[in-house]
Amino acid sequence: DPYANEPLRSPALIPSSSTPFNAEPPLSILVDNFLTPNDLFFVRNHLPVPIVDPKKYHLDITVQGKRKSVSFTLDDLKKKFPKKTVASVVQCAGNRRSEMVKVKAVKGLNWGAAALSNAEWSGASLDDVLKKAGIDLESLDMEHVQFDGMDMDPTGAPYGASIPMELARRLKKDIIIAYEMNGEEIPRDHGYPVRIIIPGIVGARQVKWLNKITISNEESSCHWQQKDYKGFHASIDWHNVDFSTVPAIMETPIQSAICEPANGSELEEGADEVTVKGYAWSGGGRGVVRVDLSLDGGKTWHSAELKPNNQPLYKSYAWTLWEATLPLPKDHKGKVEIICKAVDSSYNVQPDNVDGIWNLRGVLSNAWYRVQVKVP
Ligand code: MTE
Ligand code: MO
Q: Which atom of ligand 1 is nearest to the CA of 202?
A: 16
Q: Evaluate if residue 153 carries a pLDDT over 90.
A: yes
Q: Evaluate if residue 231 carries a pLDDT over 90.
A: yes
Instruction: Encode pLDDT of 24-79 as tens digits.
Output: 999 999 999 999 999 999 999 999 999 999 999 999 999 999 988 999 999 999 99
For the chain, the 3-state helix, strand and coil shares in percent, each to the nearest 5, are: 15, 35, 55
Alpha helices in the chain (DSSP H): 74-79, 97-101, 126-132, 165-171, 223-226
Q: What integer is the mean pLDDT of 237-260?
A: 97
pLDDT at residue 67, as a whole number: 85
CA distance 74 to 264: 48
Question: Which residue's C-alpha comes closest to atom 24 of ligand 1?
Answer: 43
Domains delineated in the chain = 14-245 (3.90.420.10), 255-374 (2.60.40.650)
Q: What integer is the mean pLDDT of 245-249?
A: 97
Helix and strand counts by DSSP (H, E) for the chain: 5, 21
pLDDT at residue 139, as a whole number: 92
Q: What integer is the mean pLDDT of 290-298?
A: 97
Q: What integer is the mean pLDDT of 84-113?
A: 96
Confidence of residue 357 (pLDDT cuts 50, 70, 90): very high
Q: What integer is the mean pLDDT of 88-104?
A: 97
Distance between Cα 305 and ligand 2 center (Å): 29
Ligand nearest the Cα of residue 20 is: 1
Distance between Cα 149 and ligand 2 center (Å): 14
Asked if 254 and 282 count as a contact pair (C-beta separation under 8 A), the reply is yes
Q: Is the CB of 281 under 6 A from ligand 1?
A: no
Asked if 239 and 152 count as a contact pair (C-beta separation under 8 A), the reply is no
Work out the number of other CB atoms within 10 angstroms of the CB of residue 312. Answer: 11
Distance between Cα 322 and ligand 2 center (Å): 24
Q: What integer is the mean pLDDT of 196-223?
A: 98
pLDDT at residue 313, as a whole number: 98
Q: Dihedral sign, CA of 81, 87, 88, 90?
A: positive
| Candidate of 208, 220, 224, 319 to mutate for ligand 1, largest count of ligand atoms within 8 Å of Cβ | 208
pLDDT at residue 14, as a whole number: 98
Q: What is the 8-class DSSP label of residue 349? A: B
**One-letter-per-residue 3-state SS of 216-273:** ECCCCCCHHHHCCCCCCCCCCCCCCCCHHHCCCCCECCCEEEEEECCCCCECCCCCCE
The reply to whether omega before 20 is within 30° of 0 (cis) is yes
Q: What integer is the mean pLDDT of 343-359?
A: 97
pLDDT at residue 49, as a whole number: 98
pLDDT at residue 172, as a whole number: 86
Burial 54-92 (b: 16+ CB within 10 A, else e): eeebebebbbeeeeeebebebeebbeebeebebbbbbbb
Q: Which amino acid is at 292?
A: D
**Whole-prediction pTM value?**
0.97
Distance between Cα 206 and ligand 1 center (Å): 6
Among left, alpha and beta (phi > 0; psi -120 to 50; other), residue 96 is left
Instruction: Encode pLDDT of 250-283 as tens digits.
Output: 999 999 999 999 999 999 998 999 999 999 999 9
Burial 194-208 (b: 16+ CB within 10 A, else e): bbbbbbbbbbbbbbb
Q: What integer is the mean pLDDT of 119-143?
A: 96
pLDDT at residue 191, as a whole number: 98
Which strand (E) or helix (H) includes residue 17? strand 14-17
